[in-house]
Amino acid sequence: MSVRLSRRVTTSLLVLAAFAVIAVSAATAARDKPANLRVTAKTQTTVSLAWNAFGTSDYVVDFWKDGNWVRVTLPRTQTSYTWTGLRPNVEYSFWVKSGNSASNLVFVKTEPDLAPPSAPGNLRIDSVTASEISFAWDASTDDTGIAEYQVSVSPHEGNLLWTGETSVKLVGLAPLTEYTFTVKARDFGYNLSPASNAVSATTEASTDTTPPSVPTNLHVSDNDGCGEVDLTWTQSTDDQDPQSAIRYRIFINGVLDFFTPIGTGRTITYGIVDGTNTFVLRAVDSAGNVSAPSNSYPIVLNIC
């Protein structure tokens, strides 16, 4: 027995077969496609994720943090995860992978942090010389953690000091000069605490009254097109200190980058304004004697 199919029937069967292939492919894709990666909860420092089961391999959860992808691998029986240690009011992106399949990308911003840290406590002077003062304080507390401390010095010629430590040693200070200090804490939500108690100390007298020689040949070059610059100069000399003991104060547009104790003839720093930034150096010996200024070096910068 033989059967002859008409062209119309043959065409119809081919179309049905094609739809069958498409249906099978669609079913496979539906099985393999990650289903509904979503945020189930968030706080100032955590984000909780959940997703429907997919793929055949263990899950890999990635998220973008501080310029890098961070990864954790989870068993197939787990379809949720909570990231911790995040920063308040920051947008993060997440996705989940299983083998060659990847989920949708999810963006979420953590909750803002509006509560400031507690004030640093028990600010105290540890030691004093003719040109140095060391002081320390008790750590602040905060619900999201302490990012750094802001140290204020009076009298001062310029910028505040920021540090992640709970102690500071200032060098290159003037002899027989009273300095007063206070400290504030900053959390990761950029909230500043109330100020600590204020403490004062007077540097001792010094028999060394001769300043170092003037630093020369200051040259400034643009490093990255975003305000970072490379400073080079010929080091100063001193009647009592070796060159390694000499520090340099960097002035930018007349403002002192006060806490930059550089003991070499090269450093990297940043400009402070869009447009022309003028750099000048002064050398400081261990007794706190300050040299005359170096040559000034103006450079046009784009502060990104």
Give the three-state DSSP class for 9.
helix
Taking a C-beta distance cutoff of 8 angstroms, is the pair 193, 116 a contact? Answer: yes
Q: Is pLDDT at 292 greater than 80 in this prediction?
A: yes
pLDDT digits (tens, 9 = 90+) for 152-194: 998 876 667 889 999 998 877 888 899 999 999 999 888 999 9
Structure tokens at 110: 């953590």
Q: Output the pTM of the full model.
A: 0.64
**DSSP string across 80-135:** EEEE-SPPTT-EEEEEEEETTEE---EEEEPPP--PPPPPPEEEEEEEE-SS-EEE
- Res. 95: pLDDT tops 50: yes
Domains of the chain: 34-109 (2.60.40.10), 121-202 (2.60.40.10), 216-301 (2.60.40.10)
For 33-82, the pLDDT digits (tens) are 457 899 999 999 899 999 999 988 999 998 877 777 889 999 999 999 99
Q: Which of 120, 92, 118, 96 is nearest to 107 (CA)?
A: 92
